[in-house]
Structure 1
Amino acid sequence: MFRLRRYRYYVFFAAIVVFLLYRVAQNSEQWETVSASFPHKAPPSSYKSPPASKSGTDGANSQAQAQSQPPFQGFSSEDDDLPQRILHNFGQDNSPIKVPDLKKVQHTDSLDDFELPPKSDAGVKEAGVLAYDHDEAAKSTTAPVINVPDKNVGQGAKDVDEPLVKSTTTGTHWEKVPEHFPVPKSEIIPLPAGKPKKIPTIQYAFEKESPEARETREARQQQVKAEMERGWAGYWQYARGHDELSPVTKKFRDPFCGWAATLVDSLDTLWIMGMEDEFKEALLEVEKIDFTVSKRAEIPVFETTIRYLGGLLAAYDVSGGKSGGYDILLEKAIELAEILMGVFDTPNRMPVLYYNWKPQYASRPKRAASNAGVAELGSLAMEFTRLAQITKENKYYDAVARITDAFYEWQERGTSISGIFPEHVDATGCNRTAQDELEAAQSAAETEAYDETSVVKRAGKSTLNVKKQKNPKTGKVELIAGESTLPECVSQGLTPGGWGAEQYGMGGSQDSTYEYFPKQWLLLGGLEPKYKELHLKVSEAVKKWLLFRPMVPDERDILFSAKVVTHGEPEIDAKTQYEVTHLTCFIGGMFAMGGKIFEVPADVEIGEKLTEGCVWAYESTATGIMPEGAHVLPCPDAKNCHWNQTLYEQALDPSWEGRGEQIQEYYKRKAEAKAALEKEREEKKEKEKKEKKEKERKEREREEREREESESTQDPAGAASKAGQPKKSSLDEKPSRGSQVGHGNARVQKRAPVSDIEDPEDDPIESGPITGIKKAKSSDAGAEDSEDSYPVPGLEKSTIGQVPLQDDNDIEKDPMRPLSHEEYVANRVENENLPKGFVDVNSKAYILRPEAIESVWYMYRITGNKKWQEKGWKMFEAIVQHTATEIGSSAIDNVLIAKTTQVNEMESFWTAETLKYFYLLYSEPNLISLDNWVLNTEAHPFKRPKAPFGV
């Protein structure tokens, strides 16, 4: 019996194996067909040698060498499909890779949130959902699945001789999958055509500097470079190939995707600072990066775009572009961009901001988030635009132009605070309320007659040819519009994300979207007017709703940008948070640059005051470094603002009005408690006195009886004559062993503190024997500690020995007393180390951020005023003093105390941004001139166009 059951199991598993082998054999022809259509070849065996130097006589030699070298064969200005050629060339020498053509994803229960593309677009367009010509798109944009080989085996950079290192990376790799919502080639938004417009100059016309000024400037510049060299050497030794250096423990960490974030982020900094040997060495590591595999399950799209894609493109631009010879930079940028393009494959082409890159997830239909950050959504434009300009591939520009169009439409339609956008955005493109109504209608259609008119009305459309039809696979009744299943959502544009209050500000989660509007206008040569309109409306809204002047001790005329919280009616319910955040410090540079290029002089002045505000925040702390986040007190009148100590202290103590009442109430309760205690003690003492007297009376009567009995026994004749006379004793007479006097005295000695012995005048038996004993004991130097005794029998020591309430005038020793307003303020300032002018500091850390020095650099380049160099130098010295480690620089936990703690983190933007801005502040003005370059939010410079497409 048992053997037969075992055979049944064997037969069952054997059948499964045979079935799987059959399926593999059935699909083998399809595998061969796909792989044959994509012959993979290895990269060229060697690259052309790069220039050895870009300065001096070496520069001329290297230029001649570059001219004599053949152009890189992988790129051509006539190539209409450059990215596909690069992907095609990645594995040319490899054996054909068999990759099956992905089948259509079935709509299962696990994919209920997604809708497969309909067969026809007519009904979908009428329903208000963005759709494309799928047949046309399949011809032009949908590519078969390809598997990009491992890139960790590479030839490295030019002029650098190192042995090849074969990667040991294994695991799942990203693969390009067919799009579910492709854009037909005819509908791709092209880059603006034509000659760039004449744009006002941004930089100040600097005069020739004196020898002394040049010497000071160059000395400072070299000190900045020394910090870069030390930090880079530490990264190279302890964290090469990883995202970030841990500068205290000399280790590394990978908070992003493990694609060497610091290395890629710092490439253009190395070139700008003249560290070309380090730049060339770094290219070896760049070639090893495999963007098709990650240590993270999902790619953070915003950070990856600004740090990696922006870093590669900027390094390509600053090193000479196509003529520079470092084609690996563009290769890698395209490889990464092709992966990131998958995030735009949504019904409304709004990007997924955390991308599950593994094929099993990437192949599924998806929608954008319903609670996306404005900054993450709107800060992809510059990087994809620059890539489109370099490659002449409009699809990269199309991807971000659609996001810009969505913001432009939303700004035109109006937000709660006109001109700017709430911190969180619903980017799904679905009207959830209408969607719920449609689902309810479909549910009703399964059980009762379908009312076509009502559903059309709910959908907001009147031209749909809607009918119901039973799905033969699922058995469910579906609503059919023409030939297509009705989409599962009703289309809408961008709207506020989440529920409840909306937040508007220029800080984290919002900042770089606003920063990119004027910068994108520059990058496109002024040919796309939408970016100008977007910026001008933003600046007007910020000036009306967010800018404020803080009240500070030296009455400096500075500005900050606040945050406003509203439930949709800001004129009525707006609540303003007068915050001071390091992330918001970029806004000074943005206003100043926007004022120059759009010819709004007042905005340049506003930019200067905003930058001064962040400089003041640096100067105010014990370390000389601005905290991450704090709040200050706004001036009642921005045009006439003077320091008011009373108002400031009231801001420090929101409950200042009730402090006096609290103290009065405390003393009232204390007096009542003290009176009650005194009354209780008096009553207890009176009772004990009565008990004592009664006891002593009884004792005397007993002693009298015993004496009389004793005398009558010993001397009957004299008993009568001595009756009623008490026995006398001398001071030095000792009580007998059984004497009650001795016993009572011992009890008194152990209980009564000296301060609580009754006044002898109150004792009716002062001249009696107990009084005599007390006097003798009190004068006896050998007596027990008098503080451990108490004269009242029956009263426990624990009751009398409690800590008494302090007198009203003993204020400092009364921990229970509420603080006065003055005391509360003094305590807050002391305990929190609050700089004068700050109401609170909710984030005391400094994580090597660049935003403040970024605006200082912009103001110096725009105004030419050397005061900005002096302010910047104080900032640099303070930062280095507190963050420098043996091998780099570390974030610190508290800028409000001189002895702060380093927290062992060196963000990639320290070398990519902060040190770069400091270096450029002391460089010659023509190095990364604002009239020739435009920097992304990660300080990566892109070339401004001088010809169509910016080439």
Structure 2
Amino acid sequence: MAGLLRLSLLHSQSQPWFSWLPLYVSHWFPLHSLQNLLYFRDETYLKGVRPNSVPVFTADEARRDAVVEAFKHAWLAYERDAMGDDEYHPISQKGTNLTAAGGIGYTVIDSIDAMLIMGLDDEYERARAWIRDKLSFDRNASFSTFETTIRVMGGLLSTYYLSGGDTLFLEKAQQIADRLLPAFDTPSGLPLPMVNLHLLEGVPDHDTGDFVSTAEASTLQLEFRYLAYLTDEDIYWDKVEKVMVVLKAATLPHGLAPIFIDIETGIYGLSPIRLGSRGDSYYEYLLKQYLQTNQTEDIYRQMYDEAMTGIHMYLAQRSVPGNLLNTAELIPDRAKNGKTGWRLLPKQDHLVCFLGGSLMLGATTSGAVVDHVSVPPLPHELSPQGKRDWFTGVELIKTCLATHNTQTQKKDKNSGKKLPPDWYIKGSPPGKPPPLDARYILRPETVESLFIAFRLTGDTWYRDQGWAIFQAIEKHCRIPTGGYASIKNVDQVPVEHEDKMETFMMSETLKYLYLLFSDASVLPLSEHVFNTEAHPLPIFSPIADSSSLL
């Protein structure tokens, strides 16, 4: 199993990291001087499927039902030991809240739409009753604007939609949205990273000062826009659209975004450019905002296309010796002459594994030249950029799967030898705890991409990879008394657990696995967008002039 927080795709450690990159990257150069590190290729590879494979769209019932049982194993333990608490600790069999003032039902709300999708009616009714009778957002403490939006607001809105319009969930979604709105009361309109839900005040992050991460500011739009559509309250739409106006104005020539932006001025700070933590979902939501409103807001397609071109020009590269396609990071630094330059750091967060599926989805929508793209797509149906992005998406998924060749999910069954060290887990001194990079915390990004890839190709190979991941989770993360725990080091067997089950285990990882093995008619991608916490929202046509700010 993988799930490494950061995957450094390097050459052998016996050589300097820049030895397989263009020489100038090891020195200080302005960003615009970097050259394209990737270009293609063989068009016969376009399909991203095995030769002569026959697309499959029916359910794999045995595997799907095994995922449902896993969800019940996780949920029933939480319900037994910690119902209503924000987080669950399966080994100690207890729950905790995010603040001393109490929680806001993170785990319940993050999980309830999965119950509807999986047909767990009894579990759903009990969770609904807790939300109706016991949920309170009136907490005198600071909560993350971003996390509360994607998990709580997103979960409530998705459940409203999937339940056929149960007003309980819409009312609760509007309640939390109203408590989040003060975060946007800033000179630029960019949101503060925290909100006190009782005092109704935005709160800065002491660690980042006047800055908010780009991902946090730009990953609120799907939720607030859908709420505005449902309630006809323009304030929700306008607040998050204003954020996009600021980000559009701050856009750099290559379309890529540094990971921090100044809340006061709306100008990007001198910070790394990467597709992992603090940057990832900015790129995800550019595409999804375009899709959410039925591909009517062309500005988001333009921003997305420019960003994807920037990724290919400056970040995409191949590892040695395995030739794995990956995305590096650009780190700002000051040269001796005082000018700022950028150095390329060949490190890829596991969070980047969302990008493979996202690129394939973008290729068949933003990159399509016909109204209805085949499954899998035919070469003449995609633009040159669409073909490029499809190929890169397929290759990135392979790279993310290669990280699963660890002791907890061995794939090289023909010999006891390890595969070439294109990536490695950063070490720690002997006798010290394993590094954070070695953990698997039940993350969903790879299975998310597998789900999207399967839906766009019908190739059962993607299902087989997801099943291997699920089996590893069952073998190494499942706690006999209930729930699933994180692993401290994926390359060490027997494993050592960390006593925590993240809410995205049920909200994302198991949901995406369930959908991977489901009939393709369940939540079709042509009718839905999934927020960054895997909460499905419907595609809709916006009200006239509802997006006039851009």
TM > 0.5 fold call:
yes
Match of 1:595 in 2: 363
1:249 to 62, 83, 92: 92
Cα deviation, residue 419, structure 1: 0.9
Distance in 2 separating the partners of 1:425 and 1:540: 22
Secondary structure of 2:88's match?
A: strand
User: How far apart are residue 290 of structure 1 and its match?
Assistant: 4.5
Q: CA deviation at 1:859?
A: 0.8
Give SS of 1:313's match.
helix
Q: Distance in 2 between matches of 1:842 and 1:363?
A: 31
3-state SS, counterpart of residue 574 of structure 1: strand
**Matched residue, 2:131:** 286
Change (3 A) 1:219 1:579: same
* Shift in CA distance, 876/370, structure 1 to aligned 2, threshold 3 Å: same
> 3-state SS of the aligned residue for 1:350?
coil
Alpha carbons of 1:364 and 1:409: their partners in 2 closer, same or farther (altered >3 Å)? closer
Match of 1:621 in 2: 406
Q: Does 1:551 align with 2:299?
A: no
Q: Indicate yes or no: 2:237 matched with 1:388.
A: no
Indicate conservation of the 8 Å contact 1:891/1:904, yes or no: yes
How far did 1:933 drift? 0.7
Q: What is the correspondence of 1:213-228 to structure 2 with a 5 Å cutoff?
A: 217-228=60-71
Structure 1 counterpart of 2:333: 567
Is 1:272 matched with 2:108?
no
Residue of structure 2 equivalent to 1:513:
282
How far is 1:348 from its partner? 2.7
| 2-structure distance, mates of 1:301, 1:542 | 28
**Does the residue aligned with 1:348 lie in a helix, a strand or coil?**
coil
Q: Which of 362, 367, 388 in structure 1 is aligned with 2:201?
A: 362
> Among 847, 861, 870, which residue is 2:441 paired with?
847
| TM-fit CA distance, 1:868 | 0.4
Identity level (%): 30
- Tell me the residue number matched to 1:578: 346
Q: Which residue of 2 aligns with 1:340?
A: 180
- Report Cα offsets for 1:210-268 as digits up to 9, x if no partner: 9xx85xx1101111110001111001110101112110111111126611111100111
Shift of 1:624: 1.7
* 1:406 lines up with 2:246 in the alignment: yes
- 1:895 paired with 2:474, answer no
- Per-residue CA deviation, residues 744-772 of structure 1 (Å, 9 max, x unaligned), is xxxxxxxxxxxxxxxxxxxxxxxxxxxxx
Pair 903,946 (structure 1): closer, same or farther in 2 beyond 3 Å: same
Counterpart in 2 of 1:939?
Answer: 534
CA distance in 1, matches of 2:400, 2:318: 12
Closer, same or farther: CA 900–365 of 1 in aligned 2, 3 Å: closer
- Name the SS for the 2:487 alignment partner: coil
Report the secondary structure of 1:934's partner residue.
strand
Residues 293, 541 of structure 2: 8 Å contact kept: no
Residue 307 (1) aligns with residue 92 (2)? no
| Equivalent-residue separation in structure 2 for 1:596 and 1:513 (angstroms) | 20
Mapped to 2, the partners of 1:612 and 1:364 lie a distance apart of 41
Aligned ranges 1:531-546 → 2 under 5 Å:
531-546=300-315
Q: In structure 2, what is the equivalent of residue 525 of structure 1? A: 294
CA distance in 1, matches of 2:204, 2:213: 22
Post-superposition Cα deviations, 1:562-592, rounded to whole Å, max 9, x if no partner, equal: 1110237999832222113211111111111
Compute the displacement of 1:349 (Å): 2.1
**Does the CA-based 8 Å contact 1:312-1:329 persist in structure 2?**
yes
Structure number with higher helix proportion: 1
Deviation at 1:289, TM superposition (A): 4.4
Residues 831 and 549 of structure 1: is their aligned pair in 2 closer, same or farther, counting only changes over 3 Å? farther
Residue 397 of structure 1 aligns to which amino acid in structure 2?
Answer: W
Mapped contact 2:143–2:197 kept (Cα < 8 A): yes
Match in the other structure for 2:38? none
Partner of 1:914: 509
CA drift at 1:831: 7.4
**1:529, distance to aligned residue in structure 2 (A):** 1.8
Structure 2 counterpart of 1:260: 105
8 Å contact 1:523–1:934 — kept in the other structure? yes
> Are the aligned partners of 1:625 and 1:846 in contact in 2 as well (CA < 8 Å)?
no
Distance 1:548 1:253 in 2: 42
Maintained 8 Å contact 1:883/1:890 = yes
Q: Which residue of the other structure, out of 390, 404, 424, is the alignment partner of 2:260?
A: 424
Deviations 1:91-123 (A, max 9, x none): xxxxxxxxxxxxxxxxxxxxxxxxxxxxxxxxx
Larger Rg: 1
- Root-mean-square deviation (Å): 3.2
Q: 1:364 to 1:351 in 2, by over 3 A?
A: closer
What is the CA–CA distance in structure 2 between the aligned matches of 1:941 and 1:422, rounded to whole Å?
A: 28
* Cα-to-partner distance string for 1:516-556 (whole Å, 9 max, x where unaligned): 0110111112222221111111101111111121224xx4x
Deviation track 1:605-659 (CA, whole Å, cap 9, x = no partner) reads 11110111111101x2101299xxxxxxxxxxxxxxxx998xx79x99xxxxxxx
Q: For the residues of structure 1 that align with 2:407 and 2:430, how far apart are their CA atoms?
A: 14
* TM-score, length of structure 2 as denominator length: 0.77
| Residues 870-889 of structure 1, C-alpha deviations (whole Å, 9 max, x = no match) | 11111111111110012110
Does structure 1 retain, via aligned residues, the 8 Å contact 2:355–2:393? yes
Q: Is the 8 A contact 2:104 2:135 kept in 1?
A: yes
| Equivalent residue number for residue 268 of structure 2 | 496
Following the alignment from structure 2 to structure 1, what is the Cα–Cα distance between the partners of residues 511 and 428?
36
User: Mapping of 1:602-641 within 5 angstroms?
Assistant: 602-618=388-404, 620-624=405-409
- The amino acid across from 1:349 in the alignment is G
Aligned 8 A contact 2:193 2:205 in 1? no
- Tell me the number of residue pairs that the alignment of Structure 1 and Structure 2 aligns: 459
Q: SS of the counterpart of 2:250?
A: helix
Query: Residues 571 and 872 of structure 1: is their aligned pair in 2 closer, same or farther, counting only changes over 3 Å?
Result: farther
Q: What is the SS of the residue equivalent to 2:364?
A: helix
Of structures 1 and 2, the one scoring higher in RCO (CA 8 A, sep 6+) is 2
Taking the aligned partners of 1:932 and 1:584, their CA distance within structure 2 comes to: 25
1:276, CA displacement in angstroms?
A: 1.6
Q: What secondary structure, in the 3-state scheme, does the structure 2 residue paired with 1:335 have? A: helix
- 2:196 and 2:202 in contact (8 A); partners too: no
- Residue pairs, 1:748-763, within 5 angstroms: none
Structure 1 residues 852-904: Cα deviation after superposition (integer angstroms, max 9, x where no partner): 11111111111221110111111111111110012110111110111111111
Corresponding residue number in structure 1 for 2:6 = none
Would you say 1:316 and 2:160 are equivalent positions? Answer: yes
Q: For residue 337 of structure 1, what is the amino acid of its counterpart? A: A
The one-letter code matched in structure 1 to 2:295 is G
Structure 1 stretches of 5 or more lacking a match?
1-205, 430-493, 627-642, 653-827, 833-839
- Alpha-carbon displacement from aligned partner over 1:16-72 (angstroms, at most 9, x marks no partner): xxxxxxxxxxxxxxxxxxxxxxxxxxxxxxxxxxxxxxxxxxxxxxxxxxxxxxxxx
Q: Is the 8 A contact 1:408 1:530 kept in 2?
A: no
Question: What corresponds to 2:466 in structure 1?
Answer: 872
Contact 1:259 1:289 in 2 (8 A): no
Aligned partners of 1:208 and 1:594: how far apart in 2?
20
Taking a change above 3 Å as real, the CA distance of residues 842 and 260 of structure 1, as seen in their structure-2 partners, is closer
Amino acid at match of 1:622: Q
Which residue of structure 2 aligns with residue 439 of structure 1? Answer: none
Q: Secondary structure at the match of 2:403?
A: helix
Change (3 A) 1:408 1:890: same
In the TM superposition, residue 357 of structure 1 has moved relative to its aligned partner by: 3.6
AA in 2 matched with 1:388: A
